Amino acid sequence: MRQNAVDDYIKRLERSMRDVPASRRNEIVAEIREHLDETLAHLPPDATEADVRNAIESVGEPDDIASEARDRLGIRPIQARWTDTAAVILLPIGGVILPFFGWVIGLIFLWMSSVWTTKEKILGTLIVPGGLLPALYLTLMPTGFRTCTRYTVDGATVRECSGPNGTNVIMLILGIGLLVAPILIAVYLGRRLRTRTASVTR
């Protein structure tokens, strides 16, 4: 039960400090975990749950510790700009709204941003060239499922099939892949955006 309370607190602390660079965050969190363990170790064995909670509270509100960390370490919380959100939307579907150019605008917003790392920007650029446009082009090409019908002519069964053959199926799979990848990448970039621009309470 005690360990649960500590884990709970540490989880809240990590969430509050999510915009503090990982190396420093891990260091501070590890130290505070140690501090908590030691604080609880000093409690008498018959300490009530209320005692445990009071002891944990004396360590401080996670938000306060996080804002102290930002202050002391000179970390300015990153402000999300509207262009950041626009990039996440335009990269996958911009090219569909405004053929090709919508995607290019999304790309410019992506590279203008101070939220994402260069690696993430490259990922956003390479994985979704054109966004969903090529995917739609491939999947909307007349494909449909291959259907077969059987009928009997003069006692012999005849099987007749129509629809896409093997190569078309590969195109379909490729199309679905191209459809899913931009969405996944956009979701990933969106989540990074949300994490880095954590709401700051002061």
Report the C-alpha gap between 49 and 141 in whole angstroms: 65
Confirm or reject binding of residue 8 to other proteins (CB under 8 A).
no
- Number of other CB atoms surrounding residue 109 within 10 Å: 21
Report the C-alpha gap between 92 and 97 in whole angstroms: 10
Burial class (CB in 10 A: 0-12, 13-18, 19+), 16: buried
The two structure tokens encoding residue 129: 């060239």
Confirm or reject binding of residue 22 to other proteins (CB under 8 A).
no
**What does the per-residue mask of binding to other proteins show for 46-75, with x meaning CB under 8 A?**
------------xxxx--xx--xx-xxx--
Confirm or reject binding of residue 143 to other proteins (CB under 8 A).
no
The two structure tokens encoding residue 35: 């501090």
- Number of other CB atoms surrounding residue 54 within 10 Å: 12
- For the bound state, the minimum distance from the C-beta of residue 13 to other proteins, rounded and expressed in Å, comes to 8
Stretch near other proteins under the rule CB under 8 A, chosen from 34-42, 87-95, 110-118, 176-184: 34-42
- For the bound state, the minimum distance from the C-beta of residue 47 to other proteins, rounded and expressed in Å, comes to 18
Binding site for other proteins (CB under 8 A): 13, 24, 27-28, 31-32, 34-35, 37-39, 41, 58-61, 64-65, 68-69, 71-73
